[in-house]
Amino acid sequence: MSVLLDHLPELWQGLLVTLQLTVASFVGAAVLGVLVTAMRVSPVPVLRALGTAYVETFQNLPLLVLLVLVFFGLPEIGIKGPPMATAIVVIAVYQAAYMAEALRSGVNSVSKGQAEAARALGLTFGQSLRLVILPQALRTVVQPLGNLTIQLIMSTALAGAISVVDLTEAAKRVNLQEAQPIAIFVGSGLAYAAIAAAVGYVTGRLERRLVIMR
């Protein structure tokens, strides 16, 4: 136990980086996810195809491969970002594919009559999506989005592969010095569990508040 207290500064710093990664890539993934969903349900075939291609590409590549590929591959063609920014962008882009799928299932759960009514009122596609469809769709997918957010938290542990010192990487470094893997990894595991539990709690509250009685 004392090994955790002795190295609290390093581990705390790692936890902060993990939280930064989580928040920043969640925001990115949410924005991108909504855009991709809009593309996938839009009336323009090209956009639909692009949306599908996006989802299929990023759902079918392992995140670790993407991270390493972008970090080491893009500098070969002159695009070089700092490790933290690279990690945030890659995790956001990857997670957006899953978010988009969850959102699309929400859109599909909104009855067709709603879209037709919106059209009949003279709303454009953008307006009907923004004012009628998405608000209802989002409410039905609070739980899956919460789960995806928890998955995103766990994904940030891979950022260590491209030299970002997040909680997992910090724990590895402490362990290298102290050789007490069980205390150190159980300790950092509990920190992840606490973040996940917090997200789960918020999701539960949101869902109860937003649920649509049908």
Contacting residues toward another protein, per CB under 8 A: 53, 56-57, 60-61, 65, 68-69, 72-73, 75-76, 80, 83, 160-163, 165, 169, 172-173, 175-182, 185
What ranges in the chain are assigned the alpha helix state H? 2-6, 8-41, 45-59, 63-68, 83-109, 112-120, 125-127, 134-140, 142-155, 167-178, 181-210
In angstroms, rounded to a whole number, what is the distance separating the alpha carbons of residues 55 and 37?
10
* CB of 131 or CB of 176, closer to another protein: 176
- Tell me how far, at minimum, the Cβ of 120 lies from another protein, in Å: 35
* CB of 97 or CB of 129, closer to another protein: 97
* CB of 26 or CB of 71, closer to another protein: 71
In angstroms, rounded to a whole number, what is the distance separating the alpha carbons of residues 139 and 146?
12
* CB of 125 or CB of 185, closer to another protein: 185
Rounded to a whole number of angstroms, the distance between the first and last alpha carbons of the chain is 51
- Tell me how far, at minimum, the Cβ of 162 lies from another protein, in Å: 7
- Tell me how far, at minimum, the Cβ of 191 lies from another protein, in Å: 16
- Count CB neighbours of 100 within 10 A: 26
* CB of 182 or CB of 213, closer to another protein: 182
What angle, rounded to 10 degrees, do the helices at 8-41 and 181-210 form? Answer: 40
Residues in the chain: 214
Residue 143: which of 214, 55, 208, 212 has the closest Cα? Answer: 208
* CB of 45 or CB of 60, closer to another protein: 60
User: 132, 115 in Cβ contact below 8 A?
Assistant: yes
User: 120, 128 in Cβ contact below 8 A?
Assistant: no
- Tell me how far, at minimum, the Cβ of 189 lies from another protein, in Å: 12
- Tell me how far, at minimum, the Cβ of 172 lies from another protein, in Å: 6
- Tell me how far, at minimum, the Cβ of 207 lies from another protein, in Å: 32
